[in-house]
Amino acid sequence: MSNVAQADIYTAPEDFVAKAHIDAAGYASMYEASVADPAAYWAEQAQRVDWIKPFTKVKDASFELGNVSIKWFEDGTLNVAANCVDRHLEIRGDQTAIIWEPDSPDTPAKHITYRVLHENVCRMANVLKAQGVTKGDRVVLYLPMIPEAAYAMLACARLGAIHSIVFAGFSPDALADRINGCGAKVVITSDEAPRGGRKTALKSNTDQALNHCDDHVKCLVVKHTGGQTTWVAGRDIDLNAEMANAGTDCPAVEVGAEDPLFILYTSGSTGKPKGVVHTSGGYLVYAAMTHLYTFDYHDGDVFWCTADVGWVTGHSYIIYGPLANGATTVMFEGVPTYPDAGRFWEVCAKHKVNQFYTAPTAIRALMGKGAEWVEKHDLSSLRLLGSVGEPINPEAWNWYNEHVGKGRCPIVDTFWQTETGGHLITPLPGAIPQKPGSATKPFFGVTPVILDPNTAEVQSETKAEGVLCIKDSWPGQMRTLWGDHERFEEAYFTQYPGYYFTGDGCRRDDDGYYWITGRVDDVINVSGHRMGTAEVESALVAHARVAEAAVVGYPHDIKGQGIYAYVTLMNDTQPSEELRKELVKWVRSEIGPIASPDLIQWAPGLPKTRSGKIMRRILRKIAENDYAALGDTSTLADPSVVDDLIENRMNRA
Ligand code: PRX
């Protein structure tokens, strides 16, 4: 049976629908119930989690400016790690919880059962405890995609400590900012992180970062590659040795539903990255539920989300959602193109993956290598495909559907954010027919509204376009920004009072389907990674030769968006190719490789209004190579700078 296509609407094959958790009628009635009486609905859904003390209050949420407060299940208590591990021991202790697939296909994969996971989580929790980590303490993880990353997350959860993962691609400076930002007591890292056959020296990066942190911060080190590291006595601790000596039992600490589970830093349109806080009860309910329904996960399935645990997708759909559901989850250390462009498909075949979840940027990159890399592998185990992180263009959707899904796997295009904890808008595969490029319909309990960007008026017609906001809280929603509730209100609730503002543009078609059109703020999406243009600008101006910088996104065939920087040099500095390379290197060292500018244009002047505000609209247009429609430039202090920028534009595609 194959997906049934009708004028670009794809319905899942009959046999898929017959087995699915939710069908069309089920979605309609459950969605209606979820928004008609959220408290009753979520009280029932929260039973999928084991509570130590049951909650009596379900929801207490206000989006009112000056008084934003979000609480779910607030008087209940639980332990997240016990929910993800211990409660499965009795019936599925010997089932594989995590399949670890290493960077090199020549290194054997590991199958970690729930029993072994329990043992290792307890060992690591005992090591953390011995370092004085207790409930509410912060622990930063800066790790490759290795089982120890999962053990460390769950060990923190077991103790009620709060983890904050820093993606291994971030620089020492970025790591130091995050360690200091959350006041971490401990950093967990490894000697090196292998990726695509290359190694990143994580321990040496951590050493550099710790030079800028409090002397009391301890460093637990996983020996992974065996690479050489320097050792600071009294600060550095050999985690493997400590774990080997630690006890295999560690009581799970009872925490309140609203106690923080993790902090995850993400880029915003202004200033430094923001420490998004997720709490324990609501987040877990939401991650588990979206994992089950969006991916139509059934007992015994093998689920693979290709993200890194350094991003929210890895938190919710490699670790917390799948493990709460007693799933088998694949954790992949490598990259899609190493050792060749068939790696994803080889791994799918090897581990008989049933649900496969990746980002459009990876699909586009692999599409460019040719379908022959897919055809080599037996993908008959696949039942469902997923996409996340950025809008998926119809060409990539069609390629994914035809070559990977062989026309028989529904594709779930899941729209969500670090802030939302789990999917907000997504097809439910047995219930909602898909249109390539549309995230389709809201998940249960999610109330999207489209507002006019200028008047903030709600667009009540079915067919509408504007900015995407959410009217009411859902359990997976972030609760605050670490240590800065004011900034939380300012960033998400000020522009459109009374609503949670996603920062995305959106249109709704005649069928009520949602189409995300991309960020409307100064955040760009590079290979599915969020980057604040302000962050890249402040990295650039920190260089001694740079006087001023303005950064915008531009369309990029593989990455979705590329980073385009306009740089004004100091008066005494001559532009050169060498300096261009140096600036790229500089940004990599200030933030990390993911922030590398793709194009740098020397700008003798930037287009500014008479009050000195940079007119980014003009810079975006030039970067997009769409300079014919620049609009009104008469309000510029010096309109002639625009001609120079157009003449020397870097993107002539
Ligand atoms: O612009 C949207 C885009 O990614 C942003 C969130 O980025 P981040 O917090 O890093 O989380 C990424 C993974 C959840 C959103 O504001 N985005 C995410 N998913 C989609 C998307 N844009 C279009 N379609 C999607 N499916």
Smallest CA-to-CA distance from 240 within 151, 310, 170, 139 is with 151
Q: In what order do the strands lie in the sheet with 274-279?
A: 236-238, 218-222, 186-190, 138-142, 162-165, 260-266, 274-279, 480-481
Task: Find residue 376's DSSP bridge partners.
Answer: none
- Pick out the residues of the known binding site: 195-198, 313, 389-391, 413-418, 504, 519, 527, 530, 541, 543, 546, 588
Q: Which structure tokens are listed for 288?
A: 């588990």
Q: Is residue 61 part of a domain?
A: no
- Pick out the residues of the known binding site for CoA: 195-198, 313, 527, 588
In short, whether 137's Cβ falls inside 6 Å of ligand 1 is no
Cα 630 to ligand 1 centre (Å): 28
Q: Is the pLDDT at 31 greater than 90, yes or no?
A: yes
Cα 461 to ligand 1 centre (Å): 25
Q: What confidence tens digit (pLDDT) does each residue in 360-391 have?
A: 999 999 999 999 999 999 999 999 999 999 99
pLDDT at position 456: 96
pLDDT at position 623: 96
pLDDT category, 585, cuts 50, 70, 90?
very high
The stretch 580-599 carries a mean pLDDT of: 96
Cα 415 to ligand 1 centre (Å): 6
In short, whether 388's Cβ falls inside 6 Å of ligand 1 is yes
Number of domains in the chain: 2
Q: Is residue 9 part of a domain?
A: no
pLDDT at position 1: 58
Answer yes or no: do 215 and 110 share one domain: yes
Answer yes or no: do 436 and 535 share one domain: no
pLDDT category, 269, cuts 50, 70, 90?
confident
Q: Is residue 162 part of a domain?
A: yes
Q: Which structure tokens are listed for 115?
A: 């029993």
Which residue CA neighbors atom 5 of ligand 1 most closely?
417
Q: Of the residues 440, 457, 478, which one is the last residue of a structural domain?
A: 440
Helix (H, G, I), strand (E, B) or coil at 470: strand
- Pick out the residues of the known binding site for ATP: 389-391, 413-418, 504, 519, 530
Q: Is residue 471 part of a domain?
A: no
Q: What confidence tens digit (pLDDT) does each residue in 295-350 have?
A: 999 999 999 999 999 999 999 999 999 999 999 999 999 999 999 999 999 999 99
pLDDT at position 652: 87
Answer with the residue of higher pLDDT: 636 or 292.
292
Answer yes or no: do 275 and 402 share one domain: yes
For the chain, helix (H) and strand (E) counts, in that order, are 22, 32
d(Cα 500, Cα 503) in Å, to the nearest integer?
Answer: 9
Q: Is the pLDDT at 2 greater than 70, yes or no?
A: no
Q: What confidence tens digit (pLDDT) does each residue in 174-212 have?
A: 999 999 999 999 999 999 999 999 999 999 999 999 999
Which residue CA neighbors atom 14 of ligand 1 most closely?
417
Contacts of 335 (CB under 8 A, 6+ apart): 103, 195, 196, 343
In short, whether 269's Cβ falls inside 6 Å of ligand 1 is no
Over pLDDT 70: what percentage of the chain?
99
529: enclosing H helix or E strand: strand 529-532
Q: Please report the DSSP string for 554-584 in residue order.
A: EEETTTEEEEEEEEEEPTT----HHHHHHHH
Q: Please report the DSSP string for 373-430 in residue order.
A: HHHTS--TT--EEEEESSPPPHHHHHHIIIIISTT-S-EEEEB--GGGSS-SB---TT
**ipTM score:** 0.99
φ, ψ of residue 73 to 5 degrees: the values are: 55, 35
Q: Is residue 312 part of a domain?
A: yes
Q: Of the residues 406, 440, 474, which one is the last residue of a structural domain?
A: 440
Q: Looking at the CA of residue 418, tell me the nearest atom of ligand 1.
A: 9
Q: Is residue 172 part of a domain?
A: yes
d(Cα 268, Cα 264) in Å, to the nearest integer?
Answer: 13
Q: What confidence tens digit (pLDDT) does each residue in 405-463 have?
A: 999 999 999 999 999 999 999 999 999 999 999 999 999 999 999 999 999 999 999 99
Which residue CA neighbors atom 13 of ligand 1 most closely?
389
Mutate to test the pocket of ligand 1, among 434, 513, 521, 530 (most ligand atoms within 8 A of CB): 530
Q: Looking at the CA of residue 413, tell me the nearest atom of ligand 1.
A: 26
d(Cα 261, Cα 279) in Å, to the nearest integer?
Answer: 5
In short, whether 389's Cβ falls inside 6 Å of ligand 1 is yes
Q: What confidence tens digit (pLDDT) does each residue in 499-525 have?
A: 999 999 999 999 999 999 999 999 999
Which residue CA neighbors atom 22 of ligand 1 most closely?
390
Q: Is residue 322 part of a domain?
A: yes
Answer yes or no: do 414 and 543 share one domain: no
d(Cα 33, Cα 41) in Å, to the nearest integer?
Answer: 7
Helix (H, G, I), strand (E, B) or coil at 507: strand
Cα 563 to ligand 1 centre (Å): 17
Answer yes or no: do 535 and 415 share one domain: no
d(Cα 54, Cα 496) in Å, to the nearest integer?
Answer: 35
CATH number for 250: 3.40.50.12780
Q: Is residue 174 part of a domain?
A: yes
Answer yes or no: do 553 and 416 share one domain: no
Which residue CA neighbors atom 7 of ligand 1 most closely?
417
Which residue CA neighbors atom 21 of ligand 1 most closely?
390
18: enclosing H helix or E strand: helix 14-19
Answer yes or no: do 258 and 378 share one domain: yes
Mean pLDDT, rounded, of the chain: 96
Answer yes or no: do 548 and 435 share one domain: no
Cα 166 to ligand 1 centre (Å): 18
Which residue CA neighbors atom 26 of ligand 1 most closely?
415
The stretch 606-627 carries a mean pLDDT of: 91
Segments in 295-339 forming alpha helices (H): 312-314, 321-324
In short, whether 13's Cβ falls inside 6 Å of ligand 1 is no
d(Cα 24, Cα 193) in Å, to the nearest integer?
Answer: 45
516 near 391, Cβ under 8 Å?
yes
218: enclosing H helix or E strand: strand 218-222
d(Cα 134, Cα 336) in Å, to the nearest integer?
Answer: 38
In short, whether 358's Cβ falls inside 6 Å of ligand 1 is no
d(Cα 473, Cα 424) in Å, to the nearest integer?
Answer: 11
Mutate to test the pocket of ligand 1, among 415, 425, 519 (most ligand atoms within 8 A of CB): 415
d(Cα 194, Cα 516) in Å, to the nearest integer?
Answer: 35
Which residue CA neighbors atom 18 of ligand 1 most closely?
389
Q: Is the pLDDT at 294 greater than 90, yes or no?
A: yes
CATH number for 595: 3.30.300.30
Which residue CA neighbors atom 6 of ligand 1 most closely?
417
Task: Find residue 343's DSSP bridge partners.
Answer: none
Segments in 46-171 forming alpha helices (H): 80-84, 89-92, 114-130, 147-159
pLDDT at position 3: 73
Answer yes or no: do 422 and 537 share one domain: no
d(Cα 160, Cα 574) in Å, to the nearest integer?
Answer: 55
Q: Is the pLDDT at 621 greater than 70, yes or no?
A: yes
Answer yes or no: do 532 and 435 share one domain: no
In short, whether 391's Cβ falls inside 6 Å of ligand 1 is yes
Answer yes or no: do 430 and 575 share one domain: no
In short, whether 417's Cβ falls inside 6 Å of ligand 1 is yes
Please confirm whether the linkage preceding 336 is cis (ω < 30° from 0).
no
Domain that residue 578 falls in: 527-648
In short, whether 470's Cβ falls inside 6 Å of ligand 1 is no
Answer yes or no: do 218 and 345 share one domain: yes
Q: Is the pLDDT at 634 greater than 90, yes or no?
A: no
Query: What's the sign of the alpha-carbon dihedral 318, 323, 325, 329?
Result: positive
- Pick out the residues of the known binding site for Mg(2+): 541, 543, 546
Q: Of the residues 380, 412, 440, which one is the last residue of a structural domain?
A: 440
Torsion of Cα atoms, 7 then 13 then 18 then 24, to 10°:
-20
Q: What confidence tens digit (pLDDT) does each residue in 484-501 have?
A: 999 999 999 999 999 999
